Structure formats: structure tokens, C-alpha cells
């Protein structure tokens, strides 16, 4: 990610024009997510404000799982297998199993997973023509969606959870003070 062009939606190396726009927005979204993680301890990543809450670590693992799920669904044009779902769960679904299993990891663990997953996405984008983004298939409720929308959804899912991370950090700050 080139910070010099972070605020410019334009052509990216080895990507078509439409992919460049999408990746420009994904880069900024990821940069702002990573900014929120700086200096967080394991305890802060695992903090739960109540018994049914998601932790920051859980939300980060969810971001990775969502992106991996969309890699399978869009790049391979197929549903996720039961074996793949076992690997992606509980991060994909969150809830009680995630609270039990997604704990005790340092921020570097999540940052590495986010970066590696995103690199696979970008490398896959580089192999595809812009027209791929406009290909449609049935999506939620069997309504048509194109690949562009599905990858926009990955982006907006991260934005939503980054907002939750900011709220969790504010709640932690109140508890500390």
C-alpha cells in the first residue's frame, strides 16, 4: 500500500481501471483499520464489554474470514465447502464459539492475517479483466449481484467493523478511567 497515493482514487500498477478504483478504496479502508490497531495489547484485543460482545480480535478475525469467503465465492465461483467452513468458523459467524476460540493473540497475528489475505485478493485481481467485476450471479435472497458489489460488500463490512472497533476502544478507555 503506497501511502503517497492513499487519498487518490486512480490507476494502480498491474490493475485495470475499475479494479484500481476498488483497490484504492480498499487500501484506504485497510489503512484506517490498521491505524486503530496500533499499540493494542492482547488484553485490549480480547476485551469484552459484556457476555455477548465481540472483541476487537474477533472482529479482525471476522474481516479475514469474510475476505477469504469472498475469494472462494468469486474467484473460484463456488460455494464454501464444509471443510472450508470449519476453518472459517467461528470467525465468520462470531458469537459464543468465537469468544471461546479467538483469544490470546497479539496484534501482529491479526495484522499478518489481514495483509496476507489482502495480498491474495490483489494478486487475484491482477489476473482478471475489469469486465469480471460486472459478471452477475445469484446472491442474497437469489437476487442478482455482480462481483463488483460483492467486493464492495467486503469493503463495507470492514468499515462497519472498524466502527465497532472504535466504539470498543472508547468503552475500554471509559473502564480504565
Q: 157 falls in which pLDDT band (50, 70, 90)?
A: very high
Contact 161, 63 (CB under 8 A): yes
Contact 147, 134 (CB under 8 A): yes
Which pTM value belongs to this model? Answer: 0.94
Q: What is the pLDDT of residue 174?
A: 86
Domains, the chain, in order of start with CATH, read 3-176 (1.20.120.450)
Residues 27-47 have pLDDT tens digits of 999 999 999 999 999 999 999
Q: How far is CA 51 from CA 47, 55, 96, 162, in A?
A: 10, 11, 9, 20
Answer yes or no: is pLDDT of 126 > 80. Answer: yes
Alpha helices in 38-133 (DSSP H): 42-46, 56-70, 82-88, 96-101, 107-126
In this prediction, residues 43-61 reach a mean pLDDT of: 96
Q: What is the pLDDT of residue 1?
A: 66
Which neighbouring-strand residues pair with 138?
144
Helix (H, G, I), strand (E, B) or coil at 146: strand
Angle made by CA atoms 165, 115, 56, in degrees to the nearest 5: 20
Amino acid at each position: 500500500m503506497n501511502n503517497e497515493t492513499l487519498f487518490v482514487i486512480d490507476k494502480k500498477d498491474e490493475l485495470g481501471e475499475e479494479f484500481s478504483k476498488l483497490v484504492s478504496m480498499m487500501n484506504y479502508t485497510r489503512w484506517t483499520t490498521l491505524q486503530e490497531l496500533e499499540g493494542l495489547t492482547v488484553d485490549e484485543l480480547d476485551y469484552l464489554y459484556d457476555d455477548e460482545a465481540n472483541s476487537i480480535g474477533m472482529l479482525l478475525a471476522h474481516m479475514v474470514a469474510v475476505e477469504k469467503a469472498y475469494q472462494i465465492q468469486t474467484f473460484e465461483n463456488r460455494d464454501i465447502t464444509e471443510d472450508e467452513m470449519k476453518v472459517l468458523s467461528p470467525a465468520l459467524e462470531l458469537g459464543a464459539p468465537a469468544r471461546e476460540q479467538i483469544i490470546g493473540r497479539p496484534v501482529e497475528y491479526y495484522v499478518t492475517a489481514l495483509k496476507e489475505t489482502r495480498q491474495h485478493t490483489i494478486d487475484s485481481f491482477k489476473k482478471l479483466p475489469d469486465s469480471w467485476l460486472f459478471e452477475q450471479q445469484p446472491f442474497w435472497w437469489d437476487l442478482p449481484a455482480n462481483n463488483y458489489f460483492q467486493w464492495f460488500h467486503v469493503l463495507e463490512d470492514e468499515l462497519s467493523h472498524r466502527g465497532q472497533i472504535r466504539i470498543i476502544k472508547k468503552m475500554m478507555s471509559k473502564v480504565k478511567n
